[in-house]
Amino acid sequence: LEENHIDNILLLIDDGDIDKIENYFSNSHDGYLIIGTSPMQEDAILDYFRKNKTPYIIINRWIHKPYINYVNIDDMNAAYLATTHLIKLNHRKIAYIGGNKEYRHSELRLLGYKKALKDNNVDVPPNLIFQGEYSEKYGFEAGKSLFSMPDRPTAAFTAGDLIAIGLQSYVYEHGLFIPNDLSLVTFGSISPSPFSRPKLTAIDIPFRDMGEQAATALIMQMNVKKVVGIQILMDAPLNI
């Protein structure tokens, strides 16, 4: 944006103001980059932009609708890679610990996990699928549940690094170790914990590249008014 001499303004939207969404955009700007929104916010914002023909790109979200402009990673494929990695390490009891299930990317990550298991003829046990919040607290609580099982899993895939931090905290507070007592693969580029010995295998989300792609796409929309339906899915590699 700076290279193209474009000013930027940060807008923060609260769920309680969804019915007044037009107030946030009353001072018209040339275009918008959207990130960190809830599904409720996304529906309201995108409906408003569509009606007003406003250029925008939504980042780190996949919305399966025509003419929605987004830049996102392939969440389903990334989860598939992470789960397949654990299967190749001879794990057959692999837990999935996800965040808010109403989020669209949560659904895709769960689908990728299930598909990897099915493609490798591994059962998908419902009792090993956990969905709650993308938080350390939830990761810690999931750790309690996992290790209280009489026939507990040998590996886990966490769909967010905050969840991994909480899960690791539980493991180490109880005198256990990763990967000796639980193999763990997480989703995200943040180093989950200083306790990691060795460093965790993780899906690397290319945030910088996503931002550059989104800004380039937004500028294109602002300059070429007839451009619609920009949809970019990026690879997210597994760092071992």
High-pLDDT (> 70) share of the chain, %: 82
Predicted TM-score (pTM) of this structure: 0.84
pLDDT of residue 5: 46
Confidence of residue 29 (pLDDT cuts 50, 70, 90): confident
- Residue 49 near residue 28, CB atoms below 8 Å: no
- Residue 179 near residue 196, CB atoms below 8 Å: no
